[in-house]
């Protein structure tokens, strides 16, 4: 009897915890949707909106070009070396290194992995900026003035990042290929002719579009989720730090999940 009671108690606690988590998750999701509803309303002043839109594109996108190019160059080079060393053999066609480097950069790295990296850089930037504005009452000041603070602060960030992200993806793919050529010209690991052959082999233009479409979704996830965590901070500097971490973790997880669905849908 005691044993069954313990089993029942364990089940009861498990179900209660599950319900609590579910309720918490649903509440967060509901609040996120409400905030997005407020954010996607018509800006009060288009002049001010465009000013912020340009500024956000510069701050979130243009300022990230350096890190995108740097990482893409080295990843492109490393993929090429790994393929040459581990895959290339007398039984394989000589274009295999170039071909695989191009496909990996185009299909996954430049869209998904680059967006994961940007979730860390841009996501924490957005969450900490909005979180600090919240705890120093700058968002309250906007509300008191009668400004729709969500639309004024969040909409330009989302649209700015969504606009600039395809360019980052294209730059990343291009730089990855430059990195691969670097191994040929500087490291002499493979020949430039073999690489060029691989780059041209069975090229499917749709993969470029697929990469861009995926990046648009990821940009929306990064900007909106990070804005939500920053905008809804309550407390002080510790909570701003936590919100920043939550924003990065949550956007990264959502990017990974949505990557599976988007790849399935677009392939």
List contacts with other proteins (CB under 8 A).
44-45, 47-48, 132, 136-138, 140-141, 143-148
CB of 70 to other proteins, least distance (A): 27
CB of 144 to other proteins, least distance (A): 5
Angle ∠(239,250,53) on CA atoms, nearest 5: 85
Q: Which C-beta is closer to other proteins: that of 18 or that of 50?
A: 50
CB of 145 to other proteins, least distance (A): 6
Indicate the burial class of 267 (C-beta count within 10 angstroms; 0-12, 13-18, 19 or more): exposed
Q: Which C-beta is closer to other proteins: that of 152 or that of 217?
A: 152
Q: Which C-beta is closer to other proteins: that of 49 or that of 74?
A: 49
Q: Which C-beta is closer to other proteins: that of 145 or that of 186?
A: 145
CB of 137 to other proteins, least distance (A): 4
| Rounded (10°) CA dihedral 14, 19, 24, 27 | 170
List, in sequence order, the alpha helices (H) in the chain. 2-39, 46-56, 65-82, 96-104, 114-135, 138-145, 149-185, 192-200, 206-231, 237-266
Q: Which C-beta is closer to other proteins: that of 205 or that of 234?
A: 234
CB of 247 to other proteins, least distance (A): 19
- Confirm if 135 and 237 have CB atoms less than 8 A apart: yes
């Amino acid at each position: 009897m005691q044993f069954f009671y313990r089993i029942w108690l364990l089940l009861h606690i498990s179900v209660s915890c599950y319900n609590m988590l579910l309720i918490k998750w649903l509440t967060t999701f509901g609040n996120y949707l409400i905030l997005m509803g407020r954010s996607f309303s018509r800006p009060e002043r288009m002049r001010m909106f465009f000013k912020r839109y340009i500024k956000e594109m510069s701050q979130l996108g243009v300022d990230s070009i350096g890190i995108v190019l740097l990482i893409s160059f080295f990843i492109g080079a490393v993929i090429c070396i790994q393929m040459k060393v581990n895959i290339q053999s007398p039984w394989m066609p000589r274009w295999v290194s170039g071909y695989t480097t191009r496909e990996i950069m185009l299909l996954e790295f430049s869209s998904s992995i680059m967006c994961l990296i940007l979730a860390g850089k841009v996501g924490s930037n957005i969450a900490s900026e909005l979180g600090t504005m919240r705890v120093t009452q700058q968002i309250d000041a906007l509300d008191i003035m009668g400004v729709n603070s969500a639309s004024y602060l969040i909409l330009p960030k989302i649209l700015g990042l969504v606009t600039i992200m395809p360019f980052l993806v294209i730059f990343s793919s291009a730089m990855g290929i430059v990195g691969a050529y670097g191994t040929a010209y500087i490291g002499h690991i493979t020949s430039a002719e073999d690489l060029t052959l691989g780059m041209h082999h069975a090229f499917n233009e749709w993969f470029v579009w697929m990469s861009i479409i995926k990046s648009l979704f990821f940009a929306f996830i990064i900007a909106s989720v990070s804005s939500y965590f920053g905008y809804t901070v309550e407390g002080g500097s510790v909570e701003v730090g936590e919100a920043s971490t939550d924003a990065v973790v949550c956007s990264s997880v959502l990017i990974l999940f949505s990557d599976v669905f988007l790849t399935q849908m677009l392939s």
